[in-house]
Amino acid sequence: MHILTIIGTPHKGNTRAIVDLFLNEFKEEQNSFEEVILPRDMENFCYGCANCILRGEDKCPHYNKMTSIVEKIEKADLLILATPVFAMSCSSGLKTVLDHLAYRWLVHRPSKSMFHKVGLIVTTAAGSGIRDTNKLLKNNMFYWGIPKIYKYSVTAMQMQGNYNEYPHKDRIINKIKKKTAKIKKSLKNRKISFKMRLFFNIFKMTQKKGWNPIDAEYWKKQGWLDGKRPY
């Protein structure tokens, strides 16, 4: 099994510590690991030109930079999105990647591989903002086509530090172990939810109308307009 972490900060603080606790739960098995660290691995903000949606992802000004990230996502069985909360949302580095992947949403050109992955969202905050950040990340994962998404969040109530300094660190570790057990179970039995099937069928009807030719042609090529499914 391959695990990819896309982490929205190079800072080795709370977010890094929580991610490492999750990864440690998988290291006793025959798993492989990869990371995308932001903004180190993608520093270019989306221009909003919509070339990826209207003309093809290869027309994106940052296509070459994003290609390696997309390839890593394609290989992953478990995809982890991790970020500290900055100004009530995810880090700008992570938002940059999300913006560049808009063309992969269900309404446009989702990748078949996404329907067979499991997602995990890790967020940490000094105070508020976790709920909105989780919603943002979960929406992106869902509209990429990931059918099962888990969340784990820690509110530190401080700007710096590491979970090791918290009086409730043992409770954090126990919760992560329980969450990991659920994730492993889902990885062994990957199911497509009713909600995912419903949204896929709704967007299939959209593609039959062909409002965006490049999207409609993609769906036709996959055979999804003729009864085939990506799951």
Residue 218 lies in a domain: no
Q: Is the pLDDT assigned to residue 158 strictly greater than 70?
A: no
Instruction: Tell me the per-residue pLDDT of 21-79, one tens digit each, with 9 for 90 and over.
Output: 999 999 987 899 999 999 999 999 999 999 999 999 999 999 999 999 999 999 999 99
Residue 214 lies in a domain: no
Residue 154 lies in a domain: yes
pLDDT score for 28:
81
Alpha helices in the chain (DSSP H): 14-24, 51-54, 63-75, 92-100, 130-144, 169-188, 194-209, 213-222
Residue 134 lies in a domain: yes
Give the total number of structural domains in the chain: 1
CA neighbor of 145 nearest in space, from 222, 41, 226: 222
CA neighbor of 32 nearest in space, from 5, 3, 74: 3
Instruction: Tell me the per-residue pLDDT of 111-126, one tens digit each, with 9 for 90 and over.
Output: 999 999 999 999 999 8
pLDDT above 90 as % of the chain: 88
Residue 215 lies in a domain: no
Rounded-to-integer distance, Cα 11 and Cα 83, Å: 10
> Locate tokens 């078949």: which residue?
112
Which pTM does this prediction carry? 0.95
pLDDT score for 169:
82
Range of the domain at 31: 2-191
Tokens of 94: 């992570």
DSSP 89: B
Q: Is the pLDDT assigned to residue 98 strictly greater than 70?
A: yes
CATH of the domain at 123: 3.40.50.360
Burial 40-53 (b: 16+ CB within 10 A, else e): ebbeeebeeeebbb
How high is the mean pLDDT of the chain?
94
Per-residue confidence band for 204, with pLDDT thresholds at 50, 70 and 90: very high
Q: Do 121 and 154 form a contact (C-beta atoms < 8 A)?
A: no
